Amino acid sequence: MTSCLRPASPATRRVFLGGLGSALAATWTQPLEAAVAADELILGHGDFRYRVIKDWVSPNQGRHHPILNCHEMVQVADGRLFMIGDHWDHQMLVFNPEGKILESWGAQWPGGHGLSLARENGEEFLFITDSGLWKTGGLSYRQTGRVTKVDLSGREILSISHPMSVGAYEPEMVFNPTETAIAPNGDIFVVDGYGSQFVLHYNARGQFIKRFGGKDGVPAEQRLNNAHGIALDERGGKPTLLVTSRADQSFRRFSLEGQYLESIAVPGAMVCRPVISGQHLYAGVCWSKTPQINALPQNPSGFTVILDAQQRVVSAPGGSAPVYDNGQLKPLQQAQRVFDHGHDVCVLDNGDLIVCQWNANQTYPIKLQRLRQPG
């Protein structure tokens, strides 16, 4: 068995729309006045408060660009926003910063889940993670997942399939990856968050190097329990990896060599992938322990969290205010019914957020417009 798996057909369905001309202009930063209208919905705490814009994607665009779940989003250098989802015929949607859908394409990643951006020699590439879990016609399916590197037009560069093909897994071990992170030298780190809970390390050419992490046989404070996301963290000077342990409501930090370093607890919040922007960490929260909401179908108790460089939660848009008691964060929970299941946060250059949701009645992402004090 080879380490590369290519789709049955290279053809993708594309629908193009105009409207990119304003993409670069929309990244210009202008402070917003602190005053807000009485009927506006404001989320967040401290310096990270936001105006909710639920109709960032204007109505009537879904006819040509349908979605099921909005999983993850990245912004490329020219201002466009790429979002991966799991619709059977429109797995990649491309937006401008004002929420206009420019194009949609992709039919070869039915379990489209993770999306990471990498830059090599001035060119940008996308790493798409297909978890292998998908639904159609009311039925659910599970197959081996894969990771694919593509250029911004969708042309495939390389693909990583089941780790047993390189001796990293036994044949009976499942591989349902959820996310990737790309090191400065191009090395690829894959988290098997819906599968066997390991981090798999490959070089830039897709050759296997090692695995680390796991759920069983490691200390509880180090285990990966639903390793849903991974990100490269360069804030401390020396790059490290932040890996989600969603069921444990925490992030685990590892060296690039796979050595466990520390845990960052976010009690009450089942966090998705970590997103680093400036000196802060952002994450969507898929579920929380919110008693009156937990009883509802699918437990729509999500929100978002923002942590500073000292690893303290400074804001929880849609959630309860962060409170620390003797240095320990008290459990967070949903406080405002805005998000059903926060799955990813894309931070724009001006500090606004685009929040993607899983299992939210096929709704498009919600924009959070950051409020700033004038002056």
Q: Encode pLDDT of 290-342 as tens digits.
A: 888 999 999 999 999 999 999 999 999 999 999 999 999 999 999 999 999 99
| C-alpha span between 156 and 150 (Å, rounded) | 4
Taking only the tens place, the pLDDT of each residue in 2-43 is 333 333 333 344 443 334 333 333 333 333 344 555 579 999
Q: Which amino acid type is present at position 123?
A: E
Q: What angle do CA 157, 123, 357 make, to 5 degrees?
A: 75
Please, where are the H alpha helices in the chain?
A: 291-294
Please check whether residue 335 is in contact with residue 356, taking contact to mean a CB–CB distance below 8 angstroms. Answer: no
Q: Please choose, from the candidates 81, 78, 79, 106, the residue with its C-alpha nearest in 3D space to the C-alpha of residue 92.
A: 106
The pTM (predicted TM-score) of the whole model is 0.89
Q: Which residues pair with 39 in a beta bridge?
A: none
CA 214, chain centre distance (Å): 21
Mean pLDDT taken over the chain: 90
Please check whether residue 77 is in contact with residue 124, taking contact to mean a CB–CB distance below 8 angstroms. Answer: yes
